[in-house]
Chain A
Amino acid sequence: MRNLKLFKLGSIGLLPLWLGLFTLLPTLLVAVVSFLRRDETGLIALAPTFDNYARLLDPIYLKVFGHSLWMAGVATLLSLAAAYPFAYLLSRVRPAWRPVLLTLVVVPFWTNSLVRIYAIRSLLAAKGAMNDVLLALGLIHEPVRLLYTDTAVTLGLVYVLLPFMILPIYSSFEKLDQKLIEAASDLGADRLDTFWHVIVPLTAPGIAAGSLLVFLPALGMFYVTDVLGGARDLLIGNFLKDQFLDARDWPFGAAASLIIIALLFLLLELYVLSRRWLNPGERLDA
């Protein structure tokens, strides 16, 4: 009997305890720090201020944020464009092959992402494979410089994050009832109509989940810009890293971090709302 109580206590209490200590508490601390002043010697001075948020409105930081959101957005759209037809085709492949093909999508996701970014760098280098191929084909006569550009960073983000887009979309295609599509065409809908009015809404949860899983991490992957980016391609991740580990302006970094958390909540709220709207009556499991 005591064991049972212990079990109940553990199964109900341990998880909230952990999350409270290592998720809630740190977030609260960041929130507090963001309203304090920086201190040259001791990191943080216990003086309340709104300066950190005011500073974020400086055009230069707005530009960094805007650029970062733009890059993450482009990466998300490109991933979506590549993943959507792919996931559809994958869900239509003969069932016997599907497990293997699906595993092949998962493998890159399990492979160290730095190593994969490094692969992209080797591919795009001035003396890399891409240039060699172009030179061999006679399309160019001097190596072109592909690295250290916005394009390289975007490509890197798509390369690392594409599986995150494919998997949720694939699973919503898998659940898609073929009969609904047949019914639509029986009712006289043409292919485009069926696509926009039946297929897209039904796979929307997958699209939304995939987009979140690409967009949010893309904001923070500082190592992608470090390895592939040029002089100015800053992501919010690089900005946070600089504030915390170089410039030592923790309150300012904390304010930026809190903005991202706010953005996260906004996007998740939109996600939950859109699912409710598309699929009334569905219970949302975390």
Chain B
Amino acid sequence: MRKGHLGIFVLFLYVLTTFVYAEPPEVRFFNWSDYLPEELLERFTAETGIRVRYSTYDSNEAMYAKIKLLQGKGYDLAMPSTYYVDKMRKEGLLHPLDKAKLPGFKNLDPRRLDQPFDPGNVYSIPYLWGTTGIAVNVHRIDPAKVQAWADLWRPEFRRGLLLPNDMREVFFVGLRTLGYSGNSTDPRHLREAYEKLRQLMPNVRLFNSDSPQMLYVTGEVDAGMIWNGNAYRAHQEDPNLRYVYPEEGCLLWMDNLVIPKGAEHLANAHKLIDFLLRPEIGKLIAEKLAYASPNAEAVKLIDPKLRNDPVIYPPDEWLRNGEYTIDVGAAITLYAEYWERLKAGE
């Protein structure tokens, strides 16, 4: 090869790679799939000039594994659920937040702050909260038959159920049906819950956490577990889809913005969090995704029809036997083992 050609080729490679690498200021956001109206990101970029690199995951476990794999040097912002905030905080994977850079913090509802999973909100900012209950297509199934988690075991639902691809949520159902805490760490309870869930498997059509409401709307499944906001949106598309707060008690969850330790764009991450904390932005998110907002100022702006819907903002007595998922410590490996067995059809 002639030297000249080689030189031009190297130059070309160089130009190409600098084109790929010369970048405006950015922030890398790792979020649940279908969990943010993406036009908001464009608005943020237009306002601040900071580009958002947005990628998504479908389970806390996948998010956690990816963050550990990249040793923090990948994402500037992530969205663990409560119990993963707790776990990641204890393992030193999170960067403490600088409240001085988050003037919007004051908008948050004090009832959603200072929870045991992150006392004083040192590491996390609540984003949305909700419940996991039962979805049922009344066109295909008599809703009177589906009032409790235990009803999912009815033989007529064979191959008709959808469950989330989330081991803690699925085991919650197994444990609560047996009368145990959804956060049990007792190996005996877990064993029983696994046996119970095994009997549920013939009814399970698939596990999906990417877009459950689509699968209900397009008629692929008749009933199953769903998050309330997803159920609300499914109901908008097909009025036959209803959300049920199960008799044994629903699962309560909250997802939270955190900054992984080692994040490279700390200032930008704070800016994006504060942007998401604005009342009018919080309102847009809550209306579009139909989950409950922990942002008191945003809730005031939300369309009253949504704000007064008990599916999304349930009265306290509906939540009385509900339970938040908390970190189960070392028992997580036992959960994972049974989960693997369950999915392998053993």
A19 at interface by CB-CB < 8 Å: no
Q: Which residue in chain A gives the minimum CB-CB distance to B1?
A: A7
Contact A248 B68 (CB under 8 A): yes
Which residues, 64 to 90 on B, are CB-close (under 8 Å) to A? Answer: 65-66, 68-69
Q: Which of B306-346 contact A (CB under 8 A)?
A: 336, 340-341, 343-346
Interface size in chain A (residues, C-beta < 8 A): 24
Residues 26 to 45 of chain B near chain A (Cβ within 8 Å)? none
- What is the bound-complex CA distance between A145 and B140, given in angstroms? 14
A145 touches B159 (CB 8 A): yes
B65 touches A246 (CB 8 A): yes
Q: Does A197 contact B (CB under 8 A)?
A: no
A232 with B343: CB separation less than 8 A? yes
Contact status A231-B204, CB under 8 Å: yes
| A126 adjacent to B220 (CB under 8 Å) | yes
CB distance from A214 to the nearest CB of B (A): 24
Let me know if B206 and A234 touch, CB within 8 A: no
Q: How far is the CB of A3 from chain B (nearest CB, A)?
A: 9
A116 to chain B, nearest CB (A): 19
User: Does A143 interact with chain B (Cβ within 8 Å)?
Assistant: yes
Known: A125-B218, A126-B219, A145-B159. A231 touches B206 (CB 8 A): yes
CA A61 to CA B336, docked complex, whole Å: 14
Q: Which residue of A lies closest to B2 (CB)?
A: A3
Check A147/B220 contact, CB under 8 A, given A63-B345, A234-B344. yes
Question: B59 in the interface, Cβ–Cβ < 8 Å?
Answer: yes
- CB of A178 closer than 8 Å to a CB of B: no
Bound Cα distance from A67 to B46, whole angstroms? 51
Is A278 part of the binding interface, using a Cβ–Cβ cutoff of 8 Å? no
Query: When chains A and B are docked, how far (Å) is the Cα of A207 from the Cα of B292?
Result: 59
Contacts of B345 in A (CB 8 A): 63, 231-232
List the A side residues contacting B344 at CB < 8 Å.
60-61, 63-64, 232, 234
Q: A88-107: which have CB < 8 Å to B?
A: none
Contact A127 B219 (CB under 8 A): yes
Q: Is A230 an interface residue (CB 8 A)?
A: yes
Contacts of B219 in A (CB 8 A): 126-127, 143
Cβ of A148 within 8 Å of any chain B Cβ, yes or no, is yes
> How many Å from the CB of B208 to the closest CB on chain A?
9
In the assembled complex, the Cα of A165 lies from the Cα of B340 at a distance in Å of 34
Chain B residue contacts of A138, Cβ below 8 A: none
Chosen A-B contacts, 24 in total, with CB atoms closer than 8 Å, are A43-B68, A61-B344, A63-B344, A64-B344, A125-B218, A126-B218, A126-B219, A127-B219, A145-B159, A147-B220, A148-B205, A148-B206, A229-B206, A230-B204, A230-B206, A231-B201, A231-B345, A232-B343, A232-B344, A232-B345, A242-B340, A246-B59, A246-B65, A248-B68
Q: Residues of B with Cβ closer than 8 Å to A?
A: 59, 61-62, 65-66, 68-69, 91, 159, 163, 201, 204-207, 218-220, 336, 340-341, 343-346
